[in-house]
Structure 1
Amino acid sequence: MIKSMTGFGKHVVQLPTKKITVEIKSLNSKSIDLNARMPSSHREKELELRKLIANSLQRGKVDFNLYVEITGDETTAQVNEITVKRYMEQLRSIAAGDDLRLMEMALRFPDAMKTDKEDIEEEEYTAILEALEGALAEVNSFRSEEGRVLEKDFLERISALERLLDQVLEMDPDRQGTIRERLEKAVNDIKTEVDANRFEQELIYYLEKYDITEEKVRLANHLDYFKKTLRSDDSNGKKLGFICQEIGREINTIGSKANYAPMQQLVVQMKDELEKIKEQMLNVL
């Protein structure tokens, strides 16, 4: 089952004197692009946290926010007055508000608190990992829900492509007859005698050039392969993207060989459906 790269998760863990909050937002990206925002006193754990996030989310543009709020007596922690005042000034320039409200907001920002402790306590780091695990679970759940919506849309559009391909198959005999009549008329308009055998050979040659049998078979196989990949256990957006490229190649070849306006109109509709699939495919994990 496919997953979307779009997701959001938030988890809070309350300790006796601290409140740990982790927020994660994910958008589409070709690879993992992680932006971490956390207190400077916790930067020593950043690489470990980045690795956990990357292993869980795999791909996407990810914003990771870690907030550590003091909710009880903490003798080693002090308000970083200069930093908090700067935050309040910036907030005041954006929107009006009383100083108490601005200060509450500023205290949530990185480096609002400073501490003399050199290491993060084991209990606190365990709480951070718990909050991270909870937020990641929410993000992945969100991604799965979005993936189900995308899967339904893809299946509907693949079905539309299959219906259009069926119409191409039904139309092909008329197309070949029309091309044959057009070539015969062009020869008759020359008003000169031609060798019947030679003409028949040339006619067969041109009809073979316009033959789309192989393209129709390959296109049907690609559509079937897309559905099988879509329903596989793993979400593989890149693989589905490659299949879309092959589908597009066969549709383009049918269009270039059609030489028949009604069939070319069907090809335009097929291209439109495929383009909508490609647009949504950018968000598949």
Structure 2
Amino acid sequence: MSFSMTGYGQYSLSYGGYNVLFEMKSVNHRYCEVVFRMPREWTRYEDGLRKIIQRELRRGRIDVFITKELSVESHLNPVLNEEVVASYLEAAKELELRYGMRGNMEISDVLSLPGVLLKPEEAILRVATEDEAWDIALQEGITHALEELVDMRAREGSHLAKDIETRISSLEVYHEKMVELAPHVVTEYRDKLRQRLTEISDGSFDEHKFGMEIAIFADRSNIDEELTRLSSHLTQCRQLLTSPDPVGRKLDFLIQEMNREVNTIGTKAHHLTLVNLVMDMKAELEKIREQAANLE
């Protein structure tokens, strides 16, 4: 399956009194370059987050934006300090077991004890210092944003692959026409040369020299090897488009090789129809090259 290097992903979550927004966008790049822009206190998590991304993406420049803002609820509601509540309840049990003290503790009694309720800003500060918890939350956000980015790259890559396949089909048609036309190039040249010599020499010319001229022309205009290599390259292009591995660089290399073969055919071709086919192939190869530049 072919993947584009262009994509966008987004995800948001609420944690520790903050609304956290994850945005990822990727564009073409020769290698896999991941650039983070996020609050300074989270830079310690950067290496772990980068590894998550690089496990899924092989090429492209990936810009990752992580922003946070206090949630509305964090400004309004006090937070229950569960650790303190548990310690008070444990102390009450110990009083009952060790000293035989009896009594009922109401909710209002618990809430009135020191440290049971935290101010919103105090709770946020406590959560913000829990490194492992924040690490897990950030990994969750990155993973979901990455999934959306990969989905978009897959959809775009599918469109690119279909367009390239269509253009490869056009190249194959041009190639077949060249294969059919190639054997007739020498024959047409021989007939035209014979007719020209007959006209200027009243039918008397050296057949031996004539034959040598035709042989030299046939050798210089032979494009069988170029057509064979071109056919092989076209087959490899089709195979690459169904490969699960990144294909962008390999496809770019094959396009360069096909351009080289087509240019050689154009140099050797002494035939108007062949020259026109060469021009058509070069135009299609350029369009394929532009599309392949977007593939991972």
TM-score under structure 2 length normalisation = 0.76
Match of 2:187 in 1: 177
Quick check: 127-136 or 216-225, which moved more?
216-225
Counterpart in the other structure of 2:269: 258
Separation of aligned partners in 1, 2:278 and 2:24 = 42
Distance 2:269 2:25 in 1: 47
1:122-170, Cα deviation, whole Å (9 max, x unpaired): 2222111000001111111111111110111011000000111122223
1:135 — aligned with what? 145
Preserved contact between residue 24 and residue 139 of structure 1 (Cα < 8 Å): yes
Where does residue 67 of structure 2 map in the other structure?
A: 67
Q: Is the 8 A contact 1:20 1:127 kept in 2?
A: no
Q: Which residue of 2 aligns with 1:57?
A: 57
**Distance in 2 separating the partners of 1:254 and 1:54:** 42
Indicate the residue corresponding to 1:35 in structure 2. 35
Share of identical aligned residues, percent? 34
2:105 is matched with none
Query: Retained in 2: the 8 A contact 1:9–1:24?
Result: yes
The Cα of 1:31 is off from its aligned counterpart by: 1.2
Q: CA deviation at 1:120?
A: 5.2
Match of 2:167 among 151, 157, 163: 157
1:220 partnered with 2:267: no
- Contact 1:35–1:64 (8 Å) recurs in 2: yes
> Contact conserved, 2:19 with 2:69, CA < 8 A, in 1?
yes
Give the letter for the 1:273 counterpart: E
Total equivalences in the alignment:
248
CA distance in 2 between counterparts of 1:237 and 1:165 reads 23
Match of 1:121 among 131, 141, 148: 131
Aligned partner of 1:160: which letter? Answer: S
Cα distance, 1:225 vs. partner?
A: 1.1
SS at match of 1:33: strand
Q: TM-score, normalised by structure 1?
A: 0.79
**Paired residue secondary structure (2:121):** coil
Structure 1 residues 37-116: aligned runs within 5 Å: 37-71=37-71, 72=74, 73-75=120-122
Contact kept, 8 Å, 2:198 with 2:205, in 1: the verdict is no
Q: Distance between the aligned counterparts of 1:176 and 1:25, measured in 2?
A: 56
- 1:12-46 Cα offsets, whole Å, 9 max, x none, are 12225122221100011111233211011112222
Task: Confirm whether residue 272 of structure 1 aligns to residue 283 of structure 2.
Answer: yes
| Larger gyration radius, structure 1 or structure 2 | 2
For 2:96, the equivalent position in structure 1 comes to none
Range 226-235 or range 168-177, more displaced:
168-177
Q: Which residue of 2 aligns with 1:95?
A: none
CA contact (8 A) 1:180 1:207 kept: no
Structure 2 residue ranges without an equivalent (≥5): 75-119
Matching residue's letter, 2:9: G
**Structure 1 residues 120, 63: closer, same or farther in 2, change over 3 A?**
farther
Q: Give 1:179 shift.
A: 1.9
Alpha-carbon distance in structure 2 between the residues aligned to 1:126 and 1:178:
75
- Hey, what does 1:247 align to over in structure 2? 258
Alignment partners' CA distance in 1, 2:219 and 2:196: 18
Q: 1:81-134, CA deviations, whole angstroms, 9 ceiling, x for partnerless residues?
A: xxxxxxxxxxxxxxxxxxxxxxxxxxxxxxxxxx79995532222111000001
- Report if the CA contact (8 A) 2:5-2:59 is conserved: yes
| Contact residue 23 and residue 65 of structure 1 kept, 8 A | yes
